[in-house]
A and B are shown apart, each in its own frame.
Chain A
Amino acid sequence: MTAQEFAHFASGDEGALQQFFKAHYGYVTGWLIYREKCPQDRVGEFYTDAVLRVRDKAMQGELEAGNLRAYLLLTAINGWKMELRRETSLLKRHERYLEQLPGDLDDSNFDALIRNEEETGLETRQQQSVLAIQRALKLLSDACRQLLTDTIINGIKVGGLVEKYGLKDARGVTAKKQDCKGQLQRLALQVMQQNQWSL
């Protein structure tokens, strides 16, 4: 990966992510299958998790353009070994819970979506929180949802978002972010109250 390609990858460019994913798929999944005895039908899952984790690290400025493939391989092996130890990260448990939820999440019967803690790996409070925030995110404007994703998930500095959101300056972005966060929290609170879930 050239320095320029890495810069794109680390900036959150999804095209660069696709290239990175394709470039190392054969090597890393082959290693997991033939050296680490990972079942073939699950290898894609651990590889994808590792790619997204490496991307996060790169976006946080914790990685350099050096030997990314080795770091990726190590991350994928660690993920598989965690699975062997029956350890699942909190994020992965959230992802799995989210996968089980209906695509058109509305207000109706949220309690029916709360499952056994042993089944989901998430406490009831955590499941309620996921449902409330997911519902709130659906009610939030696209611009707010994107701004929160850019700042909280992609870790883009507010200064870099001035132009994208047509705001006056960095302070404007910060104010907008706080506003969006406040909206989201209020919406999530409403969902909690509607379902009589304790805060």
Chain B
Amino acid sequence: MNNNIDNTLRDYAAGSLAGNALQEFEQRLRDEPELQAELDLYLALKSMDNQRLKKQLSDSITVEQLSPTVPPRTGFRLLLQWLAVAVSLALALTAWWRWQQPTKKADTPAQIAQTYIKEPYPSPVSAMGEADTLSDALKSAFLAYRKGNFASAAQQLTTIAARSESDDETLFYAGEASLQTGQLEEAIRHFERVGAGYWREAADWRCALALLKSGQTDKARPLLEKLRNGTRRTHAETLLKAME
């Protein structure tokens, strides 16, 4: 056998030939009886020799107590495993943290009212020339309100509001300044004196907040029901829902 045929014959016997090489070789086996005889001889000798060698080698497995070893982890596999551990840990910690958190209770009407009260009603706006008609006391009280000095504003406005001729705007800001300083009953009293007109709805709204803050929900409810029909509908409904 020449060396090239020899190698092809070995590859064919081992099942390593494929494609055209395999087809060509099988055709040659059909056409050349000598080649077929060479293959038969090779297979007979090789299978016999392999049988002998395999016996020797398999004996060494028992004698040497050879055993399979777990393949080392590759960098990528290791990274994936670390990532899986990290994600599991993060999930477990998040679950534990959430479990530890006290269940958040829904806000009470008083708490919701406080969030609205915290934002003072906008300061009085002076129309052109109006400043000349306002009394010095009212000017000073409004100035204090504008500056956020609600205690001073409340004191001054309460004094002015005590007069019978006080207008609704003065009464409203007397109530709002009192509300901002936490004088709830005083604030309610001022708001309730506001007459029908532009300031009435604002007074009802701020009065309802003062009533809720002081725990008088029964009195606040009709005011809020009334406000459901006006511009403060969303706020009023939020509070009414919280009161249910």
A residues bordering B, Cβ < 8 Å?
Answer: 14, 17-18, 21-22, 25-27, 29-35, 40, 43-44, 48, 51-53, 56, 60, 62, 82, 87-92, 94-95, 97-99, 126, 129-130, 133-134, 137, 148-149, 152-153, 155, 181, 184-185
Contact = CB atoms under 8 A, between A and B. Distances in A.
B71 A82 contact: no
A89 B69 contact: no
Contacts of A130: 40, 43-44, 47
A155 B6 contact: yes
Interface stretch (B7-15, B87-95, B125-133, B143-151): B7-15
B107 to A, nearest CB: 58
Given A34-B68, A88-B15, 16 more contacts: A14-B53, A17-B57, A25-B61, A31-B71, A53-B14, A56-B10, A60-B7, A90-B43, A94-B47, A95-B50, A97-B47, A133-B44, A133-B45, A153-B42, A153-B46, A185-B37
Interface string B148-180: 000000000000000000000000000000000
Interface string B10-39: 101111100000000000000000000100
Contacts of A91: 13-15, 43, 46-47, 50
B58 A44 contact: yes
A43 B58 CA distance: 12
19 contacts: A17-B53, A18-B57, A30-B69, A30-B71, A33-B68, A48-B58, A52-B53, A56-B14, A90-B15, A90-B43, A94-B46, A95-B54, A133-B41, A133-B45, A137-B48, A152-B41, A153-B46, A184-B41, A185-B37
